[in-house]
Amino acid sequence: MSDDLNGASHLDRRRAGASRVVRIGPREVLAQGLRPNISADLYHLAMTIGWPAFFAAAAAIFLLINLAFATLYWLGDDPIANARPGVFLDYFFFSVETFATVGYGDMHPRTTYGHAVAAIGAFVGVSSLAVTTGLMFTRFSRPRARLLFARNPVIATRDGRRTLMIRFANARHNMIADASAKLWVVRNETTAEGVAFRSFRRLDLVRDENPVFALTWTIMHVIDEASPLYGASEERFVADGEFGVTFVVVIAGHDETSSIAVHARHNYSGAEVLFDHEYVDIMRVEDSGRMRIEFGKFHDTRPLAQS
């Protein structure tokens, strides 16, 4: 009986130990109970790791494959002409030449075994080159908008109504045609039966479309009786309990420079919202009639009392 209990507890520990930290917006979530299976999603891993890690992984794979083929040559009976018998380094460099389809000509297979290993190495090399080229092209060509989001959302009275505002800008200063904006609030809620769950509610915007988005754009959500934020105080925004919130902004449009659809996403926590603040104006018209935008003040806000 005790052995069964020990076995069960050991199994529970193994299941609980299979954990991963997932970052969702400003929060970190510890996901447990899923076994890591990198081999099942190598493409996603190759697309999400940083460029230094990508090149380091490619170099490591290149090295390991050539070490494996060098070992196969080394195990043969002098399979490579002009290679020093038993010298592993010569076999390694011959494998690199075959893998990269260079073929200098000073070393070449001279036995059936050597030709067979070289043929397999050439196939693996060509296939690896195709995969690496495809991944690099896909990483470079991923459609992404380069947007600058204000550090803090603000809530202020605008046209006599409480309004949540978020400012962002097109950092490339090119034309994003038919741009659209969506704003979601993610928060904890409780059903009538007392069951807690995480809800996702779309917030209506005063203007959620922009025909030509090139400079700056401030989206606004009116906090009226129909708003999920109606009646929320600053304390409830910050709290992690009943009204701990995360705001998710999603921007999409058509990049006229690259002729592809682009998108961007940004998250804010409830604690980042500034109540009774407004954004400092960054646009002004010079005497010459030219408009000036001061991005150095892009993140600046001020209390309404000082306006």
pLDDT in tens, 173-230: 788 888 999 999 988 777 888 887 888 889 999 999 998 888 889 999 999 999 988 8
Q: In this predicted structure, which of 112-121, 139-148, 259-268 has the lowest mean pLDDT?
A: 139-148
Distance (Å, rounded) from C-alpha 197 to C-alpha 189?
Answer: 6
* Cα→Cα distances 84→90, 96, 107, 121, Å: 7, 16, 10, 20
Mean pLDDT of 90-101: 90
Q: What is the pLDDT of residue 233?
A: 72
Q: What angle do CA 265, 226, 207 make, to 5 degrees?
A: 45
Instruction: Characterise 12 by phi-psi region: left (phi > 0), alpha (psi -120 to 50), beta (else).
Output: alpha
Are 249 and 240 in contact by the 8 Å Cβ rule? The answer is: no
The span from the CA of 218 to the CA of 208, in Å, is 10
For the segment 105-128, the average pLDDT, to the nearest whole number, is 90
Number of residues written out for the chain: 307
Highest mean pLDDT among 51-65, 185-199, 239-253: 51-65
8 A C-beta contact, residue 70 and residue 91: yes
The tokens describing 192, both together, are: 């009538």
CATH class of residue range 147-306:
mainly beta
Kindly list the domain boundaries of the chain, sorted by start residue: 2-36, 39-141, 147-306
CATH of 39-141, one of 1.10.287.70, 2.60.40.10, 3.40.920.10, 2.20.28.270: 1.10.287.70
d(CA 120, CA 79): 14
Q: What single letter denotes the amino acid at residue 163?
A: T
**pTM, rounded to two decimals:** 0.67
Which residues are within 8 A (CB) of 293 and not within 5 positions of it... i.e. 6 or more apart?
A: 215, 216, 282, 283
Alpha helices, DSSP H only, in the chain?
A: 2-17, 42-48, 51-75, 88-99, 112-141, 234-238
Rg from Cα positions in the chain: 29
Token pair of 194 as six digits: 């007392």
Nearest Cα neighbor of 164 from 173, 178, 153, 175 is: 153
Q: Say yes or no to pLDDT of 153 above 80.
A: yes
Q: Could you report how far apart the first and last alpha carbons of the chain are, in Å?
A: 74
Are the CB atoms for 25 and 267 separated by under 8 Å? yes
| Surface-to-core class of residue 230, CB atoms within 10 Å of its CB (0-12 exposed, 13-18 middle, 19+ buried) | exposed
Looking at residue 181, its pLDDT comes to 94
**pLDDT > 70? residue 55:** yes
